[in-house]
Chains A and B, each alone.
Chain A
Amino acid sequence: MSALIICEDIWKIYRVGDVEVQALKGLNLTIRRGEFIAIMGSSGSGKSTLMNILGCLDQPTKGQYRLNGIDVGHLPPDRLAEIRNQQIGFVFQSFNLIPRTSALENAQLPLFYRGLSLKEQRSLASAALQRVGLTGREHHSPTQLSGGQQQRVAIARALVTSPALLLADEPTGNLDTQSSQEIMEILEELNREGITVILVTHEVDIAAYASRGIVIKDGQILSDRMTKGRSQVVEA
């Protein structure tokens, strides 16, 4: 399989007053299409910085980051917004749905910025909601949905654009065990359908769903190993 992500000698250096903070120190990483990756690490390890860079929300100070063949390290903000819109789907710990707005409209949001007609937006968004099992709840607002359902709306929003990459930052951090399991099964299913999933977590049993585990410490990769992945365990 071809490489979706190639990070070469990525550095991220912040300046806080006179102090220089090195969040990432020459990190190298290659991710192929269709992988299911769990990134782990304690807080301050640099995993959030890595996520922001991989998600094109931030840019490296030094080094090259190629996403789907595009060198995104030095693109202007508006071009980055386009890349996020076309290539990446985000799932956040706190769902980040727009309040008092229906599930359907939340799922439509990325298409809205793509300038599609309202009709196209609606049909794609309902299809995405159907994929996460929320048919019939299109017109519920976030407060009328449970945490697990809210996160499923967020996943529908992430995959409505058919992105190459799905970035999930602690997607189960605010959910109970039952809902967590449901969400992880949806991610697993999406991965099986071909979407590359990168998961950030510090829970070992959540990370176990992934087929490759990467541990970050002090801005560098501490370990990077293939795991069996839970789906394969189940199949076995």
Chain B
Amino acid sequence: MHTFVWLTVMTALRVLGRNRLRAGLTLLGIVIGVGAVIAMVSIGEGAKQAVQKQIATMGTNVIMIWPAATSVGGVRGAQGGAVTLTVADAVDLKKKIPLLSDTAWMKRDILQVVNGHRNGNSPVNGVSPSYLSIRDWTFSKGGSFTQADMDSAALVALLGQSVVDELFDPGEEPLGAIIRIRSVPLRVIGVLSPKGQSTYGQDQDDVVFIPFTTAERKVFGTPFLGSVGGLYAATDQAEDMPEAVELIREVMRSRHRLQADQPDDFTIRTQVELGKVQEDTSQTLTVMLMAIASVSLLVGGIGIMNILLVSVTERTREIGVRMAVGAKRAHILIQFLIEAMTLSVVGGCIGILLGVVSARLTTVIAGWPTIISGDTVATAFGFSIAVGLFFGLYPANKAARLNPIEALRYE
């Protein structure tokens, strides 16, 4: 049996070698099919990983609490329109919910930031020191402000890389420089490591952080002390997040003295929920690309079937002779199946090469991230074998069912 299969593969290769152009054109269908599947899946996987990376820049296990939209006389205001959250909320949440590893608070405004003759508008965030650790901000230069800076409302600032690029000449040292926001002089004590774009496409590095107390007392001004734009909380374990969200809701409702029939005056979002939308989108993209690529693989398979049917007809006499000298139906069936699979395997190998090269070119030329995983390659290869098997079955079966007498007489 071993000898039989081996010799049959050799025969198949020789038969294909005889009609190089024909075999080549048939191969092309599978090559393009497999190549397309690999290239498309690589692009899809690359997009998915890029999204996951962006989600990771938000921090780890982050829960966000924003003021709810206000409704006045049936007109719904924008989210965050109400000023209902306070520093006391954040402090109390941490005290009452042991699941939370930390809580933070912030308020934000877009203001003109000035360094000497240069200036630009950037989001300025007044934050608690815990905010930077919850959101996983790290420093490329200098360091964070301390609780002492918070207590004394120190005039210090941390700059994002984009702000540094805008306000400082190349080579100019930002650390220790004095910038001005609303005429308040602030000393730069840290430069943040770049995070890149957010999932919404915003530049996360276009940002200035100052101590929350400095913001409310000296820079922004405030309707009442302790009002915040948003609260942040984090858990140690990702699994704890759903439970933490429920606990936060309970504590917040009781702190805000909401009746059972009143809606929440705050909105809770988790990093997972925000990421999920993006991930679903890229997942849909991957599936769609793969579906399109699979169609070309299908067309390639039909090409194999077509050429095999032609081959069976052309070689009817040969099949008759083989049967006359003792070939069983299974022998003939296997012979043609092996020919089909040889076509699809050779096509698959070239297709894998083509797919990998196209994916790389996409990265180099278009700058899209692509990921070629072993799984993708193995799946595509498996599919090409399956295509050969599936589309070879009908012609092979047709050959095996020939009547030897009629096959020998065939002109």
Contacts and interface: CB of A to CB of B under 8 A. Distances in A.
B4 A112 contact: yes
B328 A81 contact: yes
Given A81-B327, A113-B326, A100 B4 contact: no
B404 to A, nearest CB: 5
B18 A96 contact: no
Interface string A50-85: 001001011000000000000000000110011011
B18 A113 contact: no
A96 B4 contact: no
B206 to A, nearest CB: 71
Contacts of A97: 321
A233 interface: no
Nearest to A86: B326
A99 B11 CA distance: 12
Interface in B316-367: 317-318, 320-331
A143 to B, nearest CB: 13
Interface stretch (A19-27, A115-123, A186-194, A211-219): A115-123
B328 A118 contact: no
Interface string B368-411: 00000000000000000000000000000000000011001000
Contacts of B91: none
Nearest to B325: A110
A85 B328 CA distance: 10
A98 B328 contact: no
A101 B318 CA distance: 11
A67 B367 CA distance: 75
B274 interface: no
Nearest to A106: B321
Interface residues of B, number: 23
Most buried by A among B1, B321, B329, B331: B321
A57 B4 contact: no
A161 B14 CA distance: 25
Contacts of A140: none
A109 B3 contact: no
B324 A55 contact: yes
Contacts of B325: 84-85, 90, 109-110, 113, 157
Nearest to B4: A115
A78 B329 contact: yes
Most buried by A among B1, B324, B329: B324
A81 B405 contact: no
A81 B322 CA distance: 10
B7 interface: yes
A204 to B, nearest CB: 25
A83 to B, nearest CB: 8
Contacts of B330: 78
A99 B318 CA distance: 8
B326 A96 contact: no
Contacts of A157: 325
Given A84-B324, A117-B3, A161-B326, 5 more contacts: A57-B404, A77-B329, A90-B324, A113-B328, A118-B3
10 contacts: A57-B405, A78-B328, A82-B326, A85-B325, A86-B326, A113-B331, A115-B1, A117-B3, A118-B3, A118-B7
Interface of A: 52, 55, 57-58, 77-78, 81-82, 84-86, 90, 92, 96-101, 109-110, 112-118, 157, 161
